[in-house]
Amino acid sequence: MSDADDPTEGVADVTGLYREFGDERLPPSQTKTEKFPVLSKSGTPDWDPDEWEFRVTGAVDEALTFDWDEFRELPTVTQRQDFHCVTGWSKLDVEFTGVTFPELADLAGVHARAEHVMFYALDDYTTDLPLEDCMREEVLFTWEYDGEPLPRKHGGPLRVVTPHKYAYKGAKWVTGVEFLTESQRGYWEKRGYSRTADPWKEDRYS
């Protein structure tokens, strides 16, 4: 596999993950698109790189804080992934570079009683997932898309991608992650979207 210190070294193709969930790479009722539409609840928030902080909190041995430079010094990977939007479009073969969720979780030391995860973002968006759905190599905190800095409208400087879930599980403009001992609901999960969001089961609404 790739040398973690050199993101140009290799791209891990993780598009085969669908085999865990279904027979077809394209989930049911999804349409392939070459475009990359933008879906944001309230526009693109301002970002001040000097003020920006990323925090890991909750049921961990060590709460962590990173500034923008520190975050990008974490070990990185580049992966080719698919992106499935709950509104019906899928974008295949997208390259994202960033830090894996398990990498960050291991740095913080997640408590055995942690069961759930909440992601926080600059626009007050939140989204939640069970811990086991986050502890996958394909769940990335990413700042690079197809070799370019992640565009602001797509969540730059930093967003989460969850290729095994509908894309609302990936917080754009992410500023932190909290490990929870009891499950809580995020922004859309409180408003009728599925908590599980499995594209191959068409878990769109709850």
Site string for ligand MTE, 157-196 (x = CB under 6 A): ----------xx-xxxx-----------------------
Q: Where are the alpha helices (DSSP H) in the chain?
A: 68-72, 101-108, 131-134
> DSSP assignment, residue 24?
-
88 binds, among Mo ion, ligand MTE, none (CB under 5 to 8 A by kind): none
Residue 156 interacting with ligand MTE (CB under 6 A): no
Residue 95 interacting with ligand MTE (CB under 6 A): no
Q: How far apart are CA 143 and CA 156, in angstroms?
A: 6
Nearer to ligand MTE, 40 or 206 (CB): 40
| Binds ligand MTE by CB under 6 A, chosen from 2, 15, 33, 40 | 40
Query: What is the widest separation between alpha-carbon atoms in the chain?
Result: 46
Nearer to ligand MTE, 84 or 136 (CB): 84
Residue 44 interacting with ligand MTE (CB under 6 A): no
Nearer to ligand MTE, 3 or 53 (CB): 53
Q: How far apart are CA 127 and CA 185, in angstroms?
A: 7
Across the chain, the runs of DSSP E, i.e. the strands, are: 12-13, 31-32, 54-58, 64-66, 77-84, 89-100, 116-121, 126-130, 140-145, 148-149, 159-161, 174-180
Q: Name which of residues 60 to 119 contact Mo ion (CB under 5 A).
A: 86
Q: Name which of residues 126 to 185 contact Mo ion (CB under 5 A).
A: 168
Q: How far is CA 116 from the centre of its chain?
A: 15
Residue 125 interacting with ligand MTE (CB under 6 A): yes
